[in-house]
Amino acid sequence: MNIEVLTLFPEQFPGPLTAGVTGRGLAAGRVNLRVHNLRDYTHDRHRQVDDVPYGGGAGMVLKPEPIFEAVRARAGKGPVILLTPQGELLNQELVRELAGYDDLYLICGRYEGVDERVATHLVDREVSVGDYVLTGGELPAMVLIDAVCRLVAGVLGSEASPKDESFDQRLLEYPHYTRPALFEGHPVPEVLLSGHHAEIERWRRSQAVERTRRRRPDLLDRQQG
């Protein structure tokens, strides 16, 4: 997969993406990351990328011209995604969908946001990582990249690894245990020591449902709806 990122702060990348599974995926070429500096697509002496909003108001707005020029110069043809608090919430279903593309182009918002013509005439999707405001779209872009990279073929050590994870079946993941079997008086559930695979699967399913009911009942409501 090829991922391009447009940002005012290219020095933030790849940052934490070089660690762990995602880092190995990048090093192995399973995922190719290209980062573009938005200022490289300006043509004035001051390399200006923002301006005051029409109608007044606090803050500055990213101008449309350099963003349009940058996206039109992209290498791929996949979705153009704007990271913004106003976008659809990033969840595992959306991550799986995005992982199915050969390439993605991510725009990192800044300041008060981008000129609305970027959102309405250039971007394919607007995506948010949560109902809160960050200083820019760089960290959300890294979250999206990390989540998507894990699902790219060959990045995870085991192709079975993502199948039972939280949210993959609209359920939180079941509890995990490892050695020792007894720790400070707290035992591992007997069923996990039984070697009875069918019973273990039933236990894991029931635990996943119960954990979801207690912690995220909204996920079960969506299934029923």
Residue 171, both tokens = 């359920």
Place of tokens 């995506």: 127
> Which of 136, 101, 97, 114 is closest to 4 using CA atoms?
101
- Residues 132-137 have a mean pLDDT of 94
Q: Above 70 in pLDDT, residue 6? A: yes
Pairwise pLDDT comparison (223 vs 117), residue with the higher score: 117
Residue 133 pLDDT > 60, yes or no? yes
Q: Tell me the average pLDDT across 124-140.
A: 96
* The pair of three-digit structure tokens given for residue 7, joined into one six-digit string: 């940002």
Query: Which residues, 6+ apart, have CB-to-CB distance to 150 below 8 Å?
Result: 21, 22, 156, 162
Torsion of CA 182, 187, 192, 196, to 10 degrees: 90
139: Cα within 13 Å, side-chain hemisphere: 8
- Prediction pTM value: 0.87
Inter-residue contact 39 to 47 (CB < 8 Å): yes
Confidence of residue 224 (pLDDT cuts 50, 70, 90): low
pLDDT digits (tens, 9 = 90+) for 138-174: 999 999 999 999 999 999 876 545 555 555 567 999 9
Please state, rounded to an integer, the average pLDDT across all residues of the chain: 93
Cα distance between residue 119 and residue 42, in whole Å: 19
Beta 103-108 vs 61-62: how paired, if at all?
A: unpaired
For 25-59, the pLDDT digits (tens) are 999 999 999 999 999 999 999 999 999 999 998 89
In the prediction, which pLDDT does 222 show? 72
- What burial letters (b/e) apply to 44-55, b meaning 16+ CB within 10 Å? eeeeebbeeeee
Rg of the chain over all Cα atoms, to the nearest angstrom: 22
CA dihedral over 224, 97, 10, 36, signed as positive or negative: negative
Residue-level pLDDT at 223: 65
Q: What is the mean pLDDT of residues 86-110?
A: 96
Q: What is the pLDDT of residue 160?
A: 47
Domains of the chain: 2-149 (3.40.1280.10), 166-224 (1.10.1270.20)
Q: pLDDT digit string (tens) for 180-207? A: 999 999 999 999 999 999 999 999 999 9
Q: Can you give 138-192 as a three-state secondary structure string? A: HHHHHHHHHHHHCCCCCCCCCCCHHHHCCCCCCCCCCCCCCCCCEECCEECCHHH
